[in-house]
Structure 1
């Protein structure tokens, strides 16, 4: 995220400021990049000076170079995107397959991931150090006694109920799972909610997608799914545009045949199916590149997560009900950025631009339902994720975010979790 993302209320009068700023998080961004072996290029003028990613950027494909020239012709800022993909020589071999398996390299029977996800970068070391990982289980509730967490009750894959004691409970179930578990705990009475904020202010980053189709082959079906180019040229909030907040543009490969038939933005464009199927697919496959527009989602107490007692899960716990409506701010924001991205694609030589102005299947980023803050009457946890109400209960996921920013949350959430973990280890009494 950018420094301004932590100061939304101060800068715009809307939303909330964070209880800490970019400068406090910057060293954790640098350490997270090291731990996840991030590939990238230092010096992006859109950011303050900071550390350098440990690995060089991924190779720029033809479609990336074309769009970079399009940006240059308009005088707009762009930069090669960072990626949590390693090592470089293996990532360069990555191809889309018809099965849609992204993030693997196959050489005969040898199949290795090139995604720097925690199963590769963190879990092996944690297991060697003595951590115990229970898979296929579901926590039913956090156990509470005398205002403190005592442990958790969970159901294993065979349906058996277990209780495990703990001096501290750290919750990382994201913007839907976290409020659901908090509201269902203490035998359904709910915990850590004296502020009344649990479940409120769900933010999901409304997403638009645009694909440019070129006459020439542009290498658009080859490359990791991660972005080639990122732009924050129009990111900063400008009230003159009629909305608050920003959006980040990420240039991605358009993908293989399955993506062109079943995925965004193609399902909003001219139908491929029918007598013209072969010609339509041939004209697009390998000839296309796609922008995703990740837009800021303002906190709104009416966008919320609640328990649904009409249904139960396999552990016997209540289901979840989500109420969420897109507001005019998001609609105006997306419309503005779609028009600007269309300009870039045309400046790069695209003969056709296919637009999905709101990708309905894009609720992946689940943010804000157990917000952090220094005032216990208005927040669930403090700036380090510790509950105001239950002193040995901690939340280290993106449900604690006061605002969403217009960036994918993974890097920031990893840095925030690292900062919270460091504080936990230094300050916790055992």
Structure 2
């Protein structure tokens, strides 16, 4: 294989997901020549499971969020190890892993940025909540966020672009439970349209959003940022598998070498390089980009690349009700949620806290597989549970720990011979106690809302929706990978902008904060080029 072409740009972006889309849009709008390389492809209407009657079967095969189970042409091997292996969920596509998300759109709390100083937990970020507020606001307008302003635990968020999507009868039932317990709750902010907005239609309430949104009401990078970025002149190359970041003798990044779908090697050159590959893909690429200048992997003088892997302490508490729950009607995650137990409480046996998102129930096939094994009682058991359940998602903070990590796996390679990855994850004692507390409180809420029984998915396999911390942000180059502007300490023109840069993970879905960081990093790149 030989280099067949060399392409040039002002900025090279690797990864077309939530961060890559927002950053590309921001820089292209300013007039820079931006080239984005994406390992996957666009998702067309035919590929969306919800456009087909057998959508649940499709959701377990080519749409499966786990690359180890999906094994699509754009995937690479992922092996999950440790005492509590993470079931890593990620998609290689234009839009990244957001193509399979539910659209929960939280901001971080101010305390998330100072958890070390305030609570002796993890590390402090080198930025504060106030630094992200204008970018949160911009992202909410770009994506089209539905919700209710004035949330007392979300400082400075006075308005939301659109009113909340309907919470349905289960939303009312969950509110009754919260009221009985005297716990704070708020309407869940969603990146889902409650009204027509910027050419996209309002949600049609077809449910189970993670199986694809046929109407486009669910905000994705592919239907928000990318159309505008391309109209500003940005270029996007799909099916482009980057094998290494190239550096010169001085240690500056000059671009990247990548394979096209036919296995031909190409080179893209730029004066600024940005990696937006997620908390697994980014450390993989950095560790693959070894050279005489960077023998331990690019930007890895601290030894922190791949370390401090944080997927959150996540589980589901599933409540069964005697009456039907209309689980299939409305956006799956869009009812009410609570950060009542979010902050550190000295009365607890753990530091930091968790979020509870009270939602609708599971889809039919998932319900059957979890509750109704084949046999004489299959149908009666399924009828007992199907459309009689609703879910409380518990998401807890977990501290950055070096033993939780991502490493290259040279024994399992992708279609082009590039190494896969191994993830290692073990719940800390703090995380175990925090998770147990979250399950107890969610169970309490379920019964307060009128449930007659409760089951939980536990922590035997950690939900891998959120991949954070593996190239973390910090002020000290000795224990972090990027600085407060998302620029690599070791490489003056390399930026790392995705969930890997999180210093701590908070206890909420990270997509909104990932995009806010990307918009801020784009502004810092622009300022650096013009200084």
Taking a change above 3 Å as real, the CA distance of residues 389 and 101 of structure 1, as seen in their structure-2 partners, is closer
Query: Of the candidates 422, 425, 429, which is equivalent to residue 328 of structure 1?
Result: 429
Q: CA deviation at 1:283?
A: 2.3
Superposed counterparts of 1:222-233, under 5 Å: 222-233=329-340
Query: Of the candidates 75, 80, 99, which is equivalent to residue 187 of structure 2?
Result: 80
Q: Does 2:239 align with 1:136?
A: yes
Contact 2:372–2:379 under 8 Å retained in 1: no
Contact 1:208–1:359 under 8 Å retained in 2: no
TM-score normalized by the length of structure 2: 0.75
Q: CA deviation at 1:240?
A: 2.8
Partner of residue 147, structure 1: 251
Contact 2:325–2:360 under 8 Å retained in 1: no
Query: Of the candidates 401, 409, 417, which is equivalent to residue 502 of structure 2?
Result: 401
Structure 2 unaligned spans of 5+? 1-107
Q: CA deviation at 1:87?
A: 4.5
Query: Of the candidates 148, 171, 175, which is equivalent to residue 275 of structure 2?
Result: 171
Query: Of the candidates 445, 468, 473, which is equivalent to residue 367 of structure 1?
Result: 468
Q: CA deviation at 1:245?
A: 1.9
CA distance in 1, matches of 2:471, 2:419: 19
Partner of residue 76, structure 2: none
Contact 2:318–2:389 under 8 Å retained in 1: yes
Secondary structure at 1:50 match in 2: coil
Q: CA deviation at 1:91?
A: 4.8
Query: Of the candidates 87, 102, 111, which is equivalent to residue 211 of structure 2?
Result: 102
CA distance in 1, matches of 2:315, 2:321: 20
Partner of residue 377, structure 1: 478
Secondary structure at 2:285 match in 1: helix
CA distance in 2, matches of 1:80, 1:282: 30
Q: Does 2:216 align with 1:113?
A: yes
CA distance in 2, matches of 1:316, 1:40: 46
CA distance in 2, matches of 1:378, 1:356: 35
Contact 1:94–1:103 under 8 Å retained in 2: no
Secondary structure at 1:349 match in 2: coil
Secondary structure at 1:88 match in 2: coil
Q: Does 2:232 align with 1:125?
A: no
Q: Does 2:325 align with 1:218?
A: yes
CA distance in 2, matches of 1:101, 1:339: 27
Query: 1:249-268, CA deviations, whole angstroms, 9 ceiling, x for partnerless residues?
Result: 11221133112124xxxx3x
Query: Which 10-residue stretch deviates more, 195-204 or 221-230?
Result: 221-230
Partner of residue 306, structure 2: 199
Q: Does 2:349 align with 1:242?
A: yes
Partner of residue 166, structure 2: 59
Q: CA deviation at 1:33?
A: 0.6
Contact 1:6–1:20 under 8 Å retained in 2: yes
Secondary structure at 1:120 match in 2: coil
CA distance in 1, matches of 2:158, 2:485: 23
Partner of residue 414, structure 2: 313
RMSD: 1.8
Secondary structure at 2:391 match in 1: strand
Q: CA deviation at 1:152?
A: 0.1
Q: Does 2:204 align with 1:93?
A: yes
CA distance in 1, matches of 2:383, 2:489: 58
CA distance in 2, matches of 1:305, 1:170: 20
Secondary structure at 1:151 match in 2: strand
Query: Which 10-residue stretch deviates more, 415-424 or 219-228?
Result: 219-228
Taking a change above 3 Å as real, the CA distance of residues 256 and 312 of structure 1, as seen in their structure-2 partners, is closer
Question: Runs (4+) of structure 1 moved beyond 6 Å?
Answer: none
Partner of residue 40, structure 1: 147
Query: Which 10-residue stretch deviates more, 418-427 or 33-42?
Result: 418-427
Contact 1:143–1:186 under 8 Å retained in 2: no
Query: 1:305-345, CA deviations, whole angstroms, 9 ceiling, x for partnerless residues?
Result: 11222232223322222221112211111111111111111
Contact 1:81–1:229 under 8 Å retained in 2: yes
Q: CA deviation at 1:170?
A: 0.3
CA distance in 2, matches of 1:306, 1:227: 36
Q: Does 2:119 align with 1:12?
A: yes
CA distance in 2, matches of 1:186, 1:144: 10
Secondary structure at 2:513 match in 1: helix
TM-score normalized by the length of structure 1: 0.92
Query: 1:232-277, CA deviations, whole angstroms, 9 ceiling, x for partnerless residues?
Result: 1111112431111211111221133112124xxxx3xx54542222
Q: Does 2:492 align with 1:391?
A: yes
Q: Does 2:267 align with 1:157?
A: no
Query: 1:93-135, CA deviations, whole angstroms, 9 ceiling, x for partnerless residues?
Result: 22248xx873434xxxxxx222111100011111122111111
Contact 1:149–1:390 under 8 Å retained in 2: yes
Taking a change above 3 Å as real, the CA distance of residues 72 and 82 of structure 1, as seen in their structure-2 partners, is same
Contact 1:96–1:255 under 8 Å retained in 2: no
Q: CA deviation at 1:85?
A: 0.9
